[in-house]
Each structure stands twice: as C-alpha cells, then as structure tokens.
Homo-oligomer: A and B are copies of this chain.
Amino acid sequence: LWSEEALMITPEEQAQSKKALKKQQKEAEKQAKKAEKQAKMDFAKDRYGVSAMVQSQERLGRTLIRVQDLTPEKANQLVWVRARMHTIRAKGKQCFLVLRQQQFNVQALVAVGDRASKQMVKFAANITKESIVDVEAVVQTVEQKIETCTQHDVELHVERIFVISQADARLPLQLEDAVRPDVGVEEEGRATVNQDTRLDNRVIDLRTTTSQAIFRLQSGVCQLFRDTLLQKGFVEIQTPKIISAASEGGANVFTVSYFKTSAYLAQSPQLYKQMCICADFDKVFCIGPVFRAEDSNTHRHLTEFVGLDIEMAFNYHYHEVLDSITDTMVEIFKGLMDRFQTEIQTVCKQYHSEPFKFLEPTLRLEYQEGVAMLRAAGVEMGDEEDLSTPNEKLLGRLVKEKYDTDFYVLDKYPLEVRPFYTMPDPHNPKYSNSYDMFMRGEEILSGAQRVHDAQLLTERASHHGIDLEKIKAYIDSFRYGAPPHAGGGIGLERVTMLYLGLHNIRQTSMFPRDPKRLTP
C-alpha cells in the first residue's frame, strides 16, 4: 500500500479541457519519473510519498490516534495520526507543520536526521494546504507551551508522512482569513472572507473552528429538543412535504410538478400535526424542512429552513402547552450551556456576543403590555396592530433592560393578525389564544391554541375569505371528536443564530436557500 509506486498517481487536476488534461498528465509523468529517480538515491524513500487512493485494498489493523488525544500522557510513544495540513513552514533543514483535525490541531516537525532525508523534508514542505496526510511520529513534550495549537504541550516528531488525499494548490479561501474576527480587521489591513465566497465554497468554510462549533451546537439543539419531548411522552411523527393544496391561502408557496398534476411544498407541518392530535397521538413533535416562497432578502429569512414543531392536546387551558414549550426551550438553553461551552466559546472568539440570558419560569407578557412598553418608549401603534421588525427588536431591548432576559413569551396577540385557525380569546374577541417567543428580540416561535371545532373553524375561514372547498379535508378532520390542542413551530436556524448572538441566518444553515441562492 505504501510503496513507491504510489508516486505514479497524478495529483487531482481541474479537467477544464482535454488539452490541459493531457498536458497535465505528461507533466505529472515527468514529475513522477523524476521523483522515482531521486528516490533511488534516498535512504528515506519508503518513508514518504503520495499514497495510492484508499480503495479498501485491505483492512489494516493500524490504530490512528486522534489529535485531541495527543497529550503529555502519550510522550515518547510512536503513533499514527491522520489529519489535514493546516499550515506548512519550511526552515532550512526542517519543516514545521500544523496538523488539524476538526477543531483540534498540533504542531509537527520533519527534520533532516536518521529518520528523514533532505528529500523527505522537501516533500513535506511542498504538500499543499488542506491535503489529508498520515504521519507516523513520536510524541514529544515541549518546554514552552505552543500557544497557537489546541495541543499546547506536545509536538510530533515525524518519521513517516504520506499524502492520502491531495488538495489543489490554490484554495478559494484561506481558513485563517475565514476565522478572523470582523471587528478591527480593517484597521489592521488583514483579509476576511465575504459571505458569498464562504457559501460558494462551503466545503472549505465549514472546516473552520467556528463553523464546526456552530453546526455541532446545532446538532445539540435538535438532540435536546427531542430528548426533552420524548421524556415528556411526546411521539415523533413524519409529515408529508408535498401537499395537494396550499392550505394557508396560496401565497408564498412553491409549486411542484407532480406527474400530470401540480402540488405544493408544505409551508409548515401544522395541519398534519393537528390531524395527529385528532388521531389520538396526544403529544407530537417533528423536525423537518419547511418551505416559504417569500422574496425576502433579509438577515433572518430563508426559503427553506428546519422547523422544530410541537402539537399537544391539553385539558383546560392552552397555557398547559405553552408551559411545555417554554420548559423545552429552557432545557435546550441549559443543555447548550452545560454540554457545548467549548463550542460557544469558539464562536465567541470570532463573533463576540454576550452570554444568552433566560429566566425560570420564563417571562410571559401579554401583547397589550408589550404595546404599552413600546408606547412608553415613544412608539405610536394601534392596539391591534402587528409588531413590525424594528418594534419587535426595540421591545426585546426594553424587556432586556427591565427583566434582564434574552428569552420571553408575548401572549394574547390580536386575533386579526393571526391565521384563521387561531382560537379567539374567550374573554375578549379582539385578542386570541396565541403567542410568539423571542430570543434576543427576534421571533423564533409562533404558536396558538387552534380552533378544534369544525363549525367555528368554518366561520373563521370564511371571515378570512378562504375558499372552504380547498380546506374541506382539514375542517373535516375535526368532525369526529377533536381534543382541544395548541402548539407551535420553532425555526432551528434562528434558535442557533440567536443563542450564539450571530447576525445572519446563513451562518447557521449549512447550505442556505434564499431567493438568490440555490447552490451548492
């Protein structure tokens, strides 16, 4: 496997034209022959090279040590490590490498001596950044801490080095630029990477410590959400994304060609969650994509995002459900704090933000109280007027000042600004049993008690001018006995963004979709 013939393998090449390809191949053959010739005069020639593509030729028993496990306890041991070439610095007869594995990195040294030849050091010095290499090395403790690496206390003295996968010499972006804090960079005259370059080259951008931390934490949000709900007796459901009718009026919905007819992409799993409640599942949740054909080009809108959805039957009052949802959010916040502190700190190094604050029990304000706070701050708005985005943010700041929390619930929205299936407030017909939740002044959840009575639902839909024929199946779901229920939908990317105090939702969507971006 590790034979010299490996050098016959040409490096990866951009097949832009057949002519270029041929030329490259000739060049590569020439290089390979040259290397072969040199190797003959090289005592270390079996100790380095470009390895044959790993094609599962054999199942080697060799243990690879993880970079994060390279600590002083391993001192003087000979280990194999597979990692990326993060940086390479040649210096006379030696070559310093930084080897990276996800968020961890370690310094490695290739130096001319009885284990490495001049040719081997030269080979190492010429490995392209981001290539994946296997090194065999002795772990050595260092006298002075290596501040630039996560593994401060050791370095690797390389005895063998093989390229497993070779990166193109020209990278579309540099990882060190991609993790540089935006603040103060201009004064220093150092490069950062703009968002489109990042997203166009997401495979590289996702390798940064910041991206690794963001998406590992996001995986944690899903896990905490589910674990909390499963513990509360919820059942996970799967709801269809291709639907026959745009139930919520038809605006902002993507159309799909479906054999000889047309269909739509679901804007939310809500109708299906509710059908599950009518089907006695009692408490359900789902995690899945939701689609919005809105031409909104803002920092917080995506055309496809991940919804964490909850629906739950209750006995007497929708606050039973509201409490379950706020409990769940609090469990998520606590779990992130406990289990993802490293990730939070990592993101904070590049994008500074204050730690996320929340209260127990969760602060719940009525809509009218919110309006009063805004008016006291000089905002003019009507009782039944919806919150504009600036007012939403302003209210978040006012709430933070007064209550010292980044998370709160606004309850009892005006009926007119909510969807037709929202249950009216029994005590004041201008309001409704509905709520939004906010993190750092931005909405992350919208929910309500739903109308579970077919007759009232029909009236409300008519009032909203909705074609009853189109929502017949939905209304019919409530004709065979339906328990009172409430629920809500949380935007995963928003939760991640706002928890970490980031400012653009594209940072918390691996492959974001917006009106102008469909790739990669």
Interface residues of A (CB under 8 A from B): 10, 12-15, 53-60, 62, 64, 82, 84-85, 101-102, 128, 130-132, 164-168, 171, 202-207, 211-212, 215-216, 218-219, 222-223, 226, 230, 235-244, 254-259, 261, 263, 265, 272, 275-276, 278-282, 287-289, 291, 293, 295, 303-304, 306, 315-320, 423-424, 426-427, 433, 449, 452-456, 458, 468, 473, 477-484, 492, 509-511, 513, 515, 518-520
Contact assessment for A480 and B238 in the assembled complex, using a CB-CB cutoff below 8 Å: no
Contacts of A258 in B (CB 8 A): 254, 303, 518
Complex: A480 Cα to B520 Cα, angstroms: 15
B275 and A520 within 8 A (CB): yes
Check A238/B510 contact, CB under 8 A, given A102-B280, A203-B275.
yes
A510 engages B53 (CB within 8 Å): no
Known contacts A256-B254, A316-B54; is A479 also within 8 Å of B168 by CB? yes
The complex places the Cα of A453 from the Cα of B513 at a distance, in Å, of 28
Q: Which residues of B contact A263 (CB under 8 A)?
A: 518
A15-B215 in contact given A223-B230, A239-B511, A511-B240 (Cβ < 8 Å): no
Residues of the B chain whose Cβ atoms lie less than 8 Å from the Cβ of A237: 215, 219, 510
A212: chain B residues at CB < 8 Å are 280-281
- Starting from the known contacts A12-B454, A102-B280, A243-B518, 20 additional A-B residue pairs (CB-CB under 8 Å) come to A10-B455, A15-B458, A54-B484, A55-B433, A59-B316, A62-B315, A85-B481, A102-B282, A132-B481, A164-B484, A206-B276, A240-B289, A242-B254, A242-B518, A254-B256, A254-B257, A259-B295, A275-B511, A287-B287, A288-B288
Contact between chains at A515 and B259 (CB < 8 Å): yes
Tell me which of B165, B276, B303 contacts A481 (CB under 8 A).
B165
Is B293 in contact with A53, judged by CB distance below 8 angstroms? no
Query: Judging by beta carbons under 8 Å apart, are B235 and A219 in contact?
Result: yes
Considering the complex of A and B, which 3 residue pairs feature the smallest CB-CB distances, nearest first? Answer: A206-B279, A59-B317, A54-B484
The interface centre, meaning the residue of A426, A454, A479, A509 with most chain B CB atoms within 10 A of its CB, is A479
Inter-chain contacts of A306 with B (CB < 8 A): 238
CB distance from A336 to the nearest CB of B (A): 14
A513 CA / B223 CA spacing, docked (Å): 28
Closest to A85 in B: B481
Closest approach, in angstroms, between the C-beta of A6 and any C-beta of chain B? 13
Q: How far is the CB of A507 from chain B (nearest CB, A)?
A: 14
Q: Which residues of B contact A511 (CB under 8 A)?
A: 239-240, 272, 275
User: Which listed residue, B82, B238, B282, B478, touches A315 by the CB 8 Å rule?
Assistant: B82
Chain B CB within 10 A, most for which of A57, A230, A242: A242
* B518 lies within 8 A of A84 (CB): no
Give bound CA distance, A10 to B455, whole Å: 9
Q: Are A242 and B303 in contact (CB under 8 A)?
A: yes
- Nearest to A518 among chain B residues (CB) is B244
Report which of B131, B204, B477, B510 forms a contact with A272, defined as CB distance below 8 A.
B510
The smallest beta-carbon distance between A500 and chain B, in angstroms, is: 16
Known: A453-B12, A456-B53. A207 touches B479 (CB 8 A): no
Residues from chain B with a CB closer than 8 A to the CB of A318 are 56
**Which of A130, A259, A295: most chain B Cβ within 10 A?**
A259
Q: For the complex, give the distance between the alpha carbons of A242 and B320 in Å.
A: 36
Contacts of A10 in B (CB 8 A): 455
CB contact under 8 A between A455 and B275, given known A257-B254, A483-B132? no
Q: Which of A12, A56, A255, A473 has the most CB of B within 10 A?
A: A56
Chain B residues near A518 (CB-CB < 8 A): 242-244, 258, 261, 263
Give the Cβ gap from A171 to chain B, nearest Cβ, in Å: 6
Please give, as numbers and ranges, the residues of chain B lying within 8 Å of A278 by CB-CB distance.
203
Taken together as a complex, chains A and B put the C-alpha atoms of A226 and B287 apart, in Å, by 13
Which one of A12, A82, A85, A288 has the greatest number of beta carbons of chain B within 10 Å?
A12
Are B481 and A53 touching (Cβ within 8 A)?
A: no
Query: How far is B96's CA from A469's CA once the two chains are assembled, in angstroms?
Result: 39
A107 to chain B, nearest CB (A): 19
Shortest A487–chain B CB gap in Å is: 14
A482 x B165 contact (CB < 8 A): yes
Given the complex of chains A and B, what is the CA–CA distance between A304 and B241 in angstroms?
8
A433 partner, pick from B56, B243, B279, beta carbons under 8 A? B56
Q: Which residues of B contact A319 (CB under 8 A)?
A: 56, 59
Judging by beta carbons under 8 Å apart, are B279 and A202 in contact? yes
A421-B247 Cα distance, complex, nearest whole Å: 40
Least CB distance, A178 to chain B, in whole angstroms: 12
